[in-house]
Amino acid sequence: MENQETRSMKPYQKIPIQECNEPLVPIPTDCFTLESPHPYVKLGADYGSKSPYYLRQRVLDALMTAQANLQQNYPGWNICIFDAYRPIVVQQFMVNHTFQSLITERKLNLQNLSPQERERLWQEVHQFWAVPSDNPATPPPHSTGAAIDITLTDAKGEAIDMGSPIDEISERSYPHHYEKSPTPSEQIYHQNRKILHQTMTSQGFFRHPKEWWHFSLGDQLWALQYNQKYPNNPVMAKYGRWEG
């Protein structure tokens, strides 16, 4: 396996963390739509005694308010939780799985790839997957309990079409990919992404720049985006890697 720790740090990983020690709490299963069985468990990820359906308390509170507001505007709709808390071991599993999936999808032979070709593949993976770092200063966002991957379901319980599946490694995952599309169906995808975005940002979440589904509140990526928006009132990250 490649030495992922040697790769350049992402800008958000330079944000200092002032851990607030807020508890990691279970997400109420009766309040949201949940992916069941969990998608990474189906692939073979081992959460051990942990559960993916946990968040820090304030993050959960904000998510529940976002859900209430969504239902006021779109009766019967739900936030559908794809993934939340993710231990480092699961992050490592999914990074490796994604790398191998790219090899398989493209019908490549790993042994025949040059170091440069391998590195380009890893760069693709790490556009969407954080390095599973054990360094307390650079935790993967999901390992903090402050990041969540979500979509929406309608009053019939059916998924709202966002134009691409969660975790897809392509430009279709970029939040504004369909913004200027002349195709009516693709404009619907963009409007659906806007509804999701507005639902979450109304409660202080920020969205990942390259993932329409990923939102966070209080971690390093959130702090970087907050500081970019409010440069006169900079903050530190509130949540580091959950150690409980």
Residue type, 186: E
Q: What is each CA distance from 147 to 1, 3, 72, in whole angstroms? A: 26, 25, 24
For helices 184-201 and 57-73, the axis angle rounded to 10 degrees is 130
**3-class SS at 89?**
helix
**Which residue, 79, 87, 42, 39, is CA-closest to 62?**
79
Confirm whether 186 is a catalytic residue. Answer: no
Among candidate residues 22, 168, 179, 211, the one labeled active-site is 211
**Which residue, 210, 201, 72, 66, is CA-closest to 141?**
210
Cβ 62 vs Cβ 238: under 8 Å: no
Enzyme catalytic residues: 211
